[in-house]
Amino acid sequence: MLDVWDLPDGEFILVEVDHWGNPMGWEGKTLLNAIGSLVRRHQCAPINFLSWKDMPKDYITDMVELIQSKFRFVPELTEQTKKILIDDMSLKWRQFKYELKSKGYDESKTKEEMNAHIPDPRVDPSQYRDLVHYWCFEKGQKISNINKRNRSKYEDLHCMGTNNLPRWIHEMTTKAKGVQPSRAEIYIDTRTRKDESIVTEKDAISLIALWCESNGIELPKRQGNCRTKKCGGSSLSEDAATALIKLLCEGTPTGKKDAATAIFNLSIYQGNKARVVKAGIVAQPIQFFKDAGGGMVDEALAIMAILASHHKGRVAIGQAKPIHILVEVIRTGSPRNRENVAAVLWSLCTGDPLQLKLAKEHGAEAALQELSENGTDRAKIKA
């Protein structure tokens, strides 16, 4: 970040802000990174103030002026954007103090021992001594314990990393060629990892209502009182499973894919497999196989592969008589789909003479032999 603060006088970085005043683009990211380096300077934002509220306004004003000396804003810097920048200063200052404590605090050591090992060269020794004293002080420990308890209760996790929400939304809008994402789409995108898994099972449950809302589907009303029944957690209610399957059948193309992702992730939990099978999930993937042009074959096979590992799932899949379709996918499908089909066939045919006979009649043996020779490494093992 030295290249920003070492820019010659008169040179600056141009930052575009959205209509809410949030910095956008890589320039906006550079600005926020610069704020992070600024609040770590002991002469700019001393760490021996207990709270950001105690930070003298002169320090904050000086930092804003430093930012303005290296960055220009389009449109011009407004009070709203200033507030956003100051809020980011507060966040990064508190994060810095947290990092210092995680590296420097050791309850088995004395204050003098901790003072002798400052974990960051940018920290002023006298300020650090005050900070260590606060960590060891009874009031400081009490507040720390309260914060830990509160943090442990926080379950609405995201996977945005260092990105902030406005920039994330901006990137989503850019990818969609200017179309603003809905509230549901934003929530889904910020809770879904790159491998398409959902951050927590509770997030997956929460997505159900948002997907249904965004696609105009009404959630079935829960019977009874949640105060007297166990609600939430990793268990999927029958009502929620029914709503998800309805969304999978009737939703928009995006809604269908999102519902499929939720069903897959929720079905990782063994108890949910039987619930989605009971709700009638198996029929829809079979329909997706028949309508290959609908773009849902990949999702359908992933769901079928995970449900086939459960007894009720195998029975329901077998009753749908999908063998001939599955064999055709092995012959013509994508590498990932061929791999999933091999897993489904193995689950269906193991210990079931009828399914094994049907598979042989439809040429599964030759198709699997070819897959074992030319498929992916995992597909070869499954074949």
What distance in Å separates the CA atoms of residue 365 and residue 342, rounded to the nearest whole number? 11
46 lies in the same domain as 138: yes
3-class DSSP state of 71: strand
Q: How many domains does the chain contain in total?
A: 3
Residues 207 and 104 in one domain: no
Looking at the DSSP bridge assignments, the partners of residue 15 are 73
CA distance readout (Å), 166 to 18, 162, 176, 188, 306: 9, 12, 15, 15, 36
Q: Are residues 80 and 92 in the same domain?
A: yes
**Whether 54 and 189 share a structural domain:** no
Predicted local confidence at residue 34, as pLDDT: 92
Per-residue pLDDT tens over the stretch 116-155: 999 999 999 999 999 999 888 888 788 888 877 777 776 6
Model pLDDT for residues 56-106, shown as the tens digit of each residue? 999 999 999 999 999 999 988 899 999 999 999 999 999 999 999 999 999
Residues 218 and 133 in one domain: no
Q: Does 311 lie in the same domain as 223? A: no
Burial of 351-382, coded b for 16+ CB within 10 Å and e otherwise, reads: eeeebbebbeeeebeebbeebeeebeeebeeb
| Boundary (domain end) residue, out of 112, 137, 152 | 152
Same domain? For 52 and 98 the reply is yes
Same domain, 247 and 341: no
Look up the pTM and report it: 0.52
Mean pLDDT within 338-344: 84
- Out of 260, 281, 302, pick the residue that ends a domain: 281
pLDDT at 45 over 90: yes
Query: Percent of the chain at pLDDT above 70?
Result: 84
Q: Is residue 166 part of a domain?
A: no
Residue 72's pLDDT is: 92
15 and 131 co-located in one domain: yes
How far is 118 from 250, CA to CA, in rounded Å?
59
Same domain, 9 and 104: yes
Q: Same domain for 135 and 40?
A: yes
Contact predicate 362/331, CB 8 Å: no
**What is the C-alpha separation between 382 and 361, in angstroms, rounded?**
20
CA–CA distance, 13 with 73 (Å, rounded to integer): 9
Give the CATH number, domain containing residue 336. 1.25.10.10
| pLDDT tier, 226 (very low <50, low <70, confident <90, very high otherwise) | very low
Structural domain containing residue 200: 182-281
pLDDT classification of 114: cutoffs 50, 70, 90: very high
Structure tokens at 49: 């103030």
Q: Among the ranges 48-57, 176-185, 186-195, 217-226, which has the highest mean pLDDT value? A: 48-57
Q: Which of 256, 281, 306 is the last residue of a domain?
A: 281
Is residue 41 located within the same domain as residue 133? yes
- The answer to whether 207 and 236 have CB atoms below 8 angstroms apart is no
Q: Which of 41-55, 62-76, 261-275, 347-361 has the lowest mean pLDDT?
A: 261-275
In 3D, which of 156, 150, 55, 158 has the Cα closest to residue 97? 55
